[in-house]
Amino acid sequence: MAIKVKAVERLLKFNKDDAGEYRYVMQPELYISLKEQKVIREAALRSGVSRGVMQACWDAAGEVIKAWATEGHSVALPGLGTMRFGLSAQAVADVNDVKTGLIKTRRIIFTPNSELKQELADTAIQITCYDRNGEVVRRVTSADEGTVDDGEGSGTEGSGTEGGSISGTKYKLTLTAEPEGCGTVTGAGEYSAGEKVTVSATPAQDYEFSDWSDGNTNATREVTITEDMELTANFTHA
């Protein structure tokens, strides 16, 4: 069993007037979406219980996990890891300025357990390479162990600083491109609080960079890490 990845040759432009360069851009090959009933049917077969019993257990577990996770508990997911509520918020110096409006995002965080992370790290990756004409030109299979994201930053969530650095505190910078496949972004990773990071958005062929999700219109820019951050580069058809 292996994870399937595709590397597609695309013309990438580093600025509007640049002729661009062809580079192979990798992304996961998505499988079909498995519907709930298929998962329940398979789980019933593997456990030896009836589908009706498995459906009842599935519904009950789902309600419990949803209720507890949104109440602030860290809820165990059998054989997988834990799920909990998280947030990203702006930091302020004056206690009188603390308000719910400082919360930028609310989210549910899934943290895989060590067994799941190890299984992912040990799984081979199959890469299919497509040239600019859509022809398969190479296939690569690798069993090299890679770094596995644990689903959350290692720093204290939502405790950003402004203009300073906290030794040992790390925050995650997440970058995405919209629409998918219309461009690439660089600069994502984990950084120390207060660190300045250069991020870039590069459009694919026939697309151009529009703006970042925070309104900034510079394709290449510098951001200061103060908390877990998420930025989306928006592209439009040229």
Which two tokens mark 34?
């498995």
Q: Is the residue at 92 inside a domain?
A: no
pLDDT of residue 164: 35
- Per-residue confidence of the chain (238 residues) as pLDDT tens digits? 678 888 888 887 766 666 778 888 888 776 666 788 999 999 999 999 999 999 999 999 999 998 998 888 989 998 898 988 887 788 888 899 999 988 888 888 888 888 888 888 888 888 999 998 889 999 988 766 666 766 554 333 333 333 333 334 678 899 999 988 899 999 898 887 778 889 999 999 889 999 998 888 999 999 888 788 889 999 998 7
Which two tokens mark 189?
């990773």
Q: Are residues 233 and 215 in contact, defined by beta-carbon separation less than 8 angstroms? A: no
Domain hosting residue 199, numbered range: 153-238
> From residue 84, how far is each of 66, 67, 155 by CA, in Å?
9, 10, 16
Q: Is the residue at 42 inside a domain?
A: no
User: How many domains does the chain divide into?
Assistant: 1
Q: Is the residue at 172 inside a domain?
A: yes
Question: ∠204-205-206 over CA atoms, to 5°?
Answer: 115
- The beta-strand segments (E) located in 133-169 are 136-142
Q: How far apart are CA 48 and CA 230, in angstroms?
A: 43
Q: Is the residue at 132 inside a domain?
A: no
pLDDT of residue 157: 38
Pairing status of strand 75-77 against strand 81-89: antiparallel
pLDDT of residue 30: 65
Q: Are residues 132 and 11 in contact, defined by beta-carbon separation less than 8 angstroms? A: yes
Q: Is the residue at 74 inside a domain?
A: no
Q: Is the residue at 196 inside a domain?
A: yes
pLDDT of residue 92: 82
pLDDT of residue 16: 64
CA atoms within 13 A on the CB side of 85: 10
Which two tokens mark 117?
């992370």
- The beta-strand segments (E) located in 93-188 are 103-112, 124-130, 136-142, 170-178, 183-186
Q: Is the residue at 170 inside a domain?
A: yes
Q: How far apart are CA 204 and CA 69, in angstroms?
A: 39
pLDDT of residue 153: 46
Q: How far apart are CA 26 and CA 9, in angstroms?
A: 9
Q: Is the residue at 110 inside a domain?
A: no
Q: Identify the CATH number of the domain in which residue 158 sits.
A: 2.60.40
Read off the pTM. 0.52
> What percent of the residues of the chain are helix, what percent strand, and what percent coil, each to the nearest 5?
20, 40, 40
Q: Is the dihedral of CA 49, 50, 56, 58 positive or negative?
A: positive
Concatenate the DSSP letters of all residues of 39-66 into one string: HHHHHHHHHT--HHHHHHHHHHHHHHHH
